[in-house]
Amino acid sequence: MAAPNWTQAQVLAQLDSGMHWRSSTITYAFPSTSSGIYADGEESGFRPLNTSQQSIARLALAVWDEATAASIVPGSVGRSDIEFGYTSTAIGYAHAYYPDVGSVWFNVTEPELVNPIVGEYGFMTYVHEVGHALGLEHMGDYNGAGSWSPSSYQDSAVLSVMSYFGPRGAAAIYSSQVMQADWQAANGNTYSAQTPMLNDVMAIQAIYGASTTTRLDNTVYGFASTVDGATGAIFDFRRNPYPVLTIFDSGGIDTLNLSGWSTPSRIDLHAGAFTSANDMTNNIAIAYNTTVENAVGGGGNDVIVGNDAANALDGGTGNDELQGQGGNDTLTGGAGNDIIDGGTGDDTAVFDGVFALFTVSAAGNVVTLTSAATGTDRVSAVERFRFADGTRTLTDLSPTADITAPLLSGLSPADNSANLSVGTSFVLTFNENVKAGSGSLHIWLTDGSLWRSLAVSDAIQVRFNGTSVTLDPSANLPANGGYYITVDAGAVADAAGNDYAGFSGAGQWNFSTSAADTHAPQVIALTPADEGTGASTRADLVIQFDEPVSAGSGNIVIQKGVTPFATMAVTDTSRVRINGSTVTINPSADFEQGASYNVMLDRSTFKDAAGNAFAGATAANWNFVTASAPQGDDYPLGPETQGQLGSTGSVLRARIDGPSDGDMFRVTLTAGVTYRFDMMTSSGIDPYLVLYGQAPGYELVAFDDDGGPLAKDAQLYYTATEGGVYYLAAFDNTDTYGDYGIAAGMPSDDYLASTATSGKVRTDGVISFGNITAPTDSDMFAATLTGGTQVTFDLRSAGLANPFLRLFDAQGKLLAADDSTGAGNDAQITFDVPATGTYFAAAADYDTGMGAYRLTAVLRNLVPGGSGDDALTGTHGVDTLQGDDGNDRLQGGLGDDIIQGDAGIDIAAYAGAASRFVLQHRSTDWVITDGTGGTGTEGRDLLHGVERVHFADRHLAIDLDGHAGEVARILGAVFGPASVADPTYVGIGLGLADGGMDEAALMQLALDARLGAGYSHAALVDLLYTNLAGVAPTPDVQALYTAALADGTYTPLSLATLAAEHEINLANIGYAALQEQGLVYV
């Protein structure tokens, strides 16, 4: 029997174990003893991870961290969320514990796990087990060894690393019933997933949210990759030539570049689609919520399929097929005989060479272009053709270019029509598609006086649609009058730009209007009917008039008996919809069951085209009774439910009627609007809310158990991506029953999250205050900036948990983002203004927090250096010191400064003693703060590209990734760990390294200084081993290494370098601590 095909909701339900980390920060650690990790029989066989295994574990964590909004960071042993260990007891192949335990265990006897390699099954196991530790279940109800069957077609390692099934050799079990792929490369090896796969990314983001900061810039994946950091080697196909991975990206204009392969590739840029490359199939996926705009093929005969974004597709060499799909695409076939299909949108095909080098033939929208250099290309559905000497349109390339003006083929109403309604629209029909040209259409009285001129640029009164032009004057024509219409020459043109000649004078299009209409609109039907019973509690109210109507003035009032239920202005288009003679009224809240209602309408609430007003209705004209509550269940758990919620926040009372009951409510959402849903109780139930999407899929959107303000209450927020009817389900989480209240509302918003915001921020440090009122809320502030200046934006918490700051240009394009560059957990962006104009700073919470914040902007004083050795001093204000090239000395002085060293060996200088300052090393910079919280005179400085820090009483080397690290490692291995704490030794080494001596020469000099010229192999081994191990080597160990030196396995220099970089040496010298506090030297 074939495995079933699951929906995304079913996949999520399977993968989500229900056990999650509650904090948005998840920590990990590598304990050195079994006491630092949870164990259930594994502890007796415990082995710690070595340095290389820890690196692999960090990489496995990083590929999950990039996908999720949660932050996965190092923690301390015994207090972290996730710990790693190897064991030889109580273990199969590998296993992990769900949150809140999180321990990950590997079998120390399995070679693939002891020496895991990216792309092989051992590394995929690391990724799989981390998935468990984050709360993911297997893709089926199985665990460990056994005779298992796949749960579904989606139970495949192609879609999820949490599956046991998949391609032969790449997963634990092969099954023909699941999604397939060929991950055997041309070298004969079969590769495994190197990242979470498509459904893993979907599931982990459903639990913790999607990252909004992963590669926000314009990123290249593949060849010429720009991905840096821990995962850079995975997404660089020069270093990882056999990729099996999923691409997740938070923003920017991104490119998938497969130009390094000469075998055919099939690239599909759609979100959720797979690409096949380098002799493998379905080996590169794009996450469901990721847009990759561009693609580059290689030397094979490639197929490249775009998406609905504006794609740039480049086939490279070979006979390629490019499909632009939606969007305004740029398509380059390259050398070879290519097939190019632009799809929808305004597309451009690019050719190498001037137009005269090509032979062109065209038939309809299909163009064939041939040149000796690039071959023959067949191009369809492309609007523009770019050559080296200019761009031509499809019309330009047609042998039968359109040079004929459009011809008028019909008028409506016809010429000489009489007794027309004063609200009549007028239609001109042509023999081809037309567009607005330049000019107007004029309506004249028969006496020759002008009544109206309608410019063709007025899209409200003049509408172009295909071959027709519709005139719809904004005012009614006077009744019982005679008229004629004229059209300016050039007011209408065809697609090729040929102008219609127009017509003038009274003889072309004449008509007259009828006598004045004095008949007021009358009601001919009501729904629910007057005196009707059994009306639905979620019914809209519908009025059918005897003629078309429009909104007038006044209110519609609904009463329950004599108690007001809803009052709405007839002009409220969100609740009163008019379509011709039909009016639909949405009360925005459910009627009560078994209750009597009446509807009253003010006089003049509606009017006809002549302005005649509806007489209105009293409480006696429209009465109805709603259906009584069904026995046993107030609201069914299904889309046929009678329950309906408005979005005003009003509470609807309902009841969980039994241990297995659930209630469903319809709720109409507007795209782009954030809503809050609450389920509250004072009874014994534990509210649980689930939001489902629109028909027909009803896909799971969001859920919550205890997110409300009171214990057990449920609350969730959702920003609708599409408008329409959604379904909110209410449950009890403890199999009990009782009463509850449920509501849907829209949180208040002080500032818009768009460039239409009223918020403003000045650049003089004046504070702008705001409040994040929903997890997805974001507030924008406009700032007027001057080109060539530098401005720092500071977002500080005044209750907001984790401030997140973004900067946009006037078009809404993201320019920069930051989470924690500011003090503590605050956010800060320093921006070099490229051009004078309006920019927008957006304040939000990085996770789902809410609360108040303070936003400031300050104009920085720029102090530039040159190409030489500069001595730069800041002012009493906020400075940016830019050292540029050379060995610079930079002293910021008072205020919060940015000290940018750039090339050379640069010094940040401070006037006070070191004890006054607090140093913090972050991933890309250092923060030096004078006094607690930056209250000292020298403020809080950010250091970039600085190697040395000089205080009044101490010098520090902070480039542990450069010369300082080299010196520390060499000193530890050659002179012993204690020498690293000797400022004189360190100073000598730094002087040599900074003066140009490379690491190998410095090591050799250290060996010669320590052992003397002509030292023996035995002396070298004794020295290195004693410094690392703390004891002399045994005779066997010494013999082993001296033999390796004698036979050339090692040279003295390579053995000493190995010792310097060994994890024992790094531990002896406290290398990790040095990276955080610097190396003291004189």
- Would you please indicate which residues are annotated as catalytic (active-site) residues? 129
| H or E element at residue 410 | strand 408-412
Nearest Cα to 1063, choosing from 935, 973, 985?
A: 973
- Alpha-carbon Rg of the chain, whole angstroms? 37
Nearest Cα to 499, choosing from 397, 408, 426, 427?
A: 408
Cα(859)–Cα(831) distance, integer angstroms: 10
Do strands 955-957 and 652-656 pair parallel, antiparallel, or not at all (unpaired)? unpaired
b vs e for 575-603, b when ≥16 Cβ sit within 10 Å of the residue's Cβ? Answer: bbebeebebebbbbbbbeeebebbbbbbe
φ/ψ region of 809 (left if φ > 0, alpha if ψ in -120 to 50, else beta) reads: beta
In which residue are the tokens 């039907």 written? 525
Cα(292)–Cα(299) distance, integer angstroms: 21
Cα(76)–Cα(73) distance, integer angstroms: 10
CA distance readout (Å), 941 to 493, 680, 822, 874, 883? 63, 48, 10, 12, 15
**Per this entry, what is the length of the chain?**
1082
- The secondary structure of 256-313, three-state, reads EECCCCCCCCEEECCCCCEEECCCCCCCEEECCCCCCCEEECCCCCCEEECCCCCCEE
Cα(138)–Cα(9) distance, integer angstroms: 15
For the chain, the distance separating the N- and C-terminal CA atoms, rounded to the nearest angstrom, is 77
* Positive or negative: CA dihedral 877, 880, 883, 887: positive
Cα(166)–Cα(181) distance, integer angstroms: 8
Nearest Cα to 164, choosing from 140, 183, 182?
A: 140
Question: Going along 937-1041, which residue ranges are E strands?
Answer: 940-944, 948-950, 955-957
Task: Specify whether the CB–CB gap between 785 and 839 falls below 8 A.
Answer: yes
The single-letter code of the amino acid at 272 is: G
Cα(193)–Cα(569) distance, integer angstroms: 59
Tokens of 506: 């009274």
Task: Specify whether the CB–CB gap between 874 and 881 falls below 8 A.
Answer: yes
For helices 983-994 and 963-970, the axis angle rounded to 10 degrees is: 130
Instruction: Give percent helix, percent strand, percent coil of the chain, each to the nearest 5.
Output: 15, 35, 50
DSSP string over 693-733 = --TTT--EEEEESS-SSSTT-EEEEEE-SS-EEEEEEEEET
Tokens of 655: 């009841």
DSSP string over 127-155 = HHHHHHHHTBPPSSS--SSS----SSTT-
Half-sphere exposure in the Cβ direction for 619 (13 Å, CA): 9
- Cβ-Cβ contacts under 8 Å for 196 (sequence gap 6 or more): 63, 64, 67, 127, 131, 160, 161, 204, 246
Within 10 angstroms of residue 117's Cβ, the number of other Cβ atoms is 11
**Adjacent-strand bridge partners of 255:** 220, 294
| H or E element at residue 201 | helix 198-208
